[in-house]
Amino acid sequence: MGELVTLAAALNQALLDALDGDDRVLVMGEDVGRLGGVFRVTDGLHAKFGDDRVIDTPLSESGIIGSAIGLAMRGFRPVCEIQFDGFVFPAYDQITTQLAKYHARSGGMAKLPVTIRIPYGGGIGAVEHHSESIEAYFAHTAGLRIVSPSHARDGYQMLREAIDCDDPVIFLEPKRRYWDKAELGQVAESLFQSRVVRAGVDATVLCYGPMVRTCLEAAGLADEEDGVSLEVIDLRTLSPLDLPPVFDSVRRTGRCVVVHEAPVFSGLGAELVARIQQECFFDLEAPVLRVGAPHAPYPPSRLEKFYLPDVNRILDAVDTVRGF
């Protein structure tokens, strides 16, 4: 067994290797240089590559992304860090009206290989603006690719592939999993493929990012206490969605629960439910259920355990779909 590393360390290694392997790669963002980032994901990079490759920017998310667009147009591969999920919105105009559109606007002639790293989600005892689930905002915008790793092994390979991608990539990092450890190694799936992380026969559970570990814990408890076999799928890519493995699983199990931290109302789960019921309608034994946050602002830290999905809420949904 190889050395276990945290997700944060795996991402740091991915950035180091990308910078080392391609002079066109730049890292830029607030406090990414000498400080090494709020979560220390860029720690040590400035000392090795200097001011020209690891760039401390002013506190201007719009400026960060606008600068990255210009750099990408001139042949660079910028990797931008948005310090916290809720800080991305000043850059939303640049991302959705410029970055996402330029390839189509140029008739396919121009490519903008910009990677935007965003720590997202809750579970760390922070407050609003520091605990947001923002994926649905960007998934609705054509021209962006959106991915989210759930552990260190995926984090390393997915970030390397995102930086190599010629399209803009929103790289969502589940901040509550930064300190979870896993062994580094080769990953069979490419950047835009989902993965069955636990096989089962009684129901399918779909999840991504921070909820993968929670869903695996729920599946283990269901098996141990009730003998219920849950198949857990880590979606990994949120746009484009890789749905054939999802459809195959649901056709076998006949039941499905979709889990995400984001509010259920108009969340990514709604698209998943619609697509599953469209493609697998005659194989379903029960309605597809969603487990997520309520349609409310993120609460103070002492209340977040009631806001975020947990094992009990997931198992309640599983019991409901199995009751049909």
Domain boundaries, the chain: 4-183, 195-322
Q: Is the pLDDT of residue 1 over 70?
A: no
Compute the Cα dihedral for 257, 261, 265, 268 and give only its sign.
Answer: negative
Q: Which two tokens stand for residue 115?
A: 């990677």
The first and second tokens of residue 159, run together, are 């970030």
Indicate if the pLDDT at residue 317 is higher than 70: yes
List Cα–Cα distances, 61 to 2, 67, 227, in angstroms: 38, 10, 49
Report yes or no: 179 and 8 within 8 Å, Cβ to Cβ: yes
Q: How far is CA 134 from CA 124, 129, 295, 307, in A?
A: 16, 10, 13, 16
**Structure tokens belonging to residue 308:** 């975020």
At residue 185, the pLDDT reads 84
pLDDT over 90 (residue 164): yes
pLDDT, average across residues 148-175: 97
Query: CA angle, corner 175, sides to 77 and 51, nearest 5?
Result: 35
**149, 173 in Cβ contact below 8 A?**
yes
The CATH fold assigned to 195-322 is: Rossmann fold (3.40.50)
* Residue 224: exposure state from Cβ atoms within 10 A (0-12, 13-18, ≥19): exposed
Please choose, from the candidates 120, 88, 117, 118, the residue with its C-alpha nearest in 3D space to the C-alpha of residue 211. 120
**Average pLDDT in the 5-29 region?**
98
64 Ramachandran zone, left/alpha/beta (phi>0; psi -120 to 50): alpha
At the topology level, CATH places domain 4-183 in: Rossmann fold (3.40.50)
CA gyration radius, the chain: 20
- The rounded mean pLDDT for the chain is 96
d(CA 255, CA 277): 11
- Strands 4-6 and 181-183 come out as antiparallel
pLDDT at 219: 98
Instruction: State the residue for tokens 């990414």.
Output: 32
What pLDDT, on a 0 to 100 scale, did the predictor assign at position 127?
80
Active site residues: 130
pLDDT band (50, 70, 90) for residue 3: confident
Residue among 18, 36, 35 at smallest CA distance from 26: 18
Quote the crossing angle between the two packed helices 244-253 and 268-279, to the nearest 10°. 60
Of all residues in the chain, what percent carry a pLDDT higher than 90?
Answer: 96
pLDDT tens by residue, 238-248: 999 999 999 99
Give residue 209's region: left, alpha or beta (phi > 0; psi -120 to 50): left
Q: How far apart are CA 167 and CA 182, in angstroms?
A: 28
Backbone angles phi, psi at 132, to 5 degrees: -85, 150
Quote the CA–CA distance of 32 and 314 in Å, as a whole number: 37
Q: Which two tokens stand for residue 101?
A: 């559109």
Q: Express each pLDDT in 56-85 by its tens digit.
A: 999 999 999 999 999 999 999 999 999 999
| Interval 164-188 mean pLDDT | 95
* pLDDT per residue as tens digits for the range 42-62: 999 999 999 999 999 999 999
pLDDT digits (tens, 9 = 90+) for 204-215: 999 999 999 999
Q: Is pLDDT larger for residue 185 or for residue 103?
A: 103
Q: At 72, is the secondary structure helix, strand, or coil?
A: helix
297 and 127 Cβ atoms separated by less than 8 Å:
no
Q: How many C-alpha atoms does 179 have within 13 Å on its Cβ side?
A: 4
C-alpha span between 260 and 133 (Å, rounded): 9
Mind listing the pLDDT tens digit for each residue in 128-140? 889 999 999 999 9
User: How many alpha carbons lie under 13 Å from residue 252 in its C-beta half-sphere?
Assistant: 16
Task: Judge if 4-183 and 195-322 fold alike in CATH terms.
Answer: yes
- What percent of the chain is modeled with pLDDT above 70? 99
In sequence order, what are the residues at sequence separation of 6 or more whose Cβ sits closer than 8 angstroms to the Cβ of residue 289?
A: 256, 257, 258, 317, 320, 321
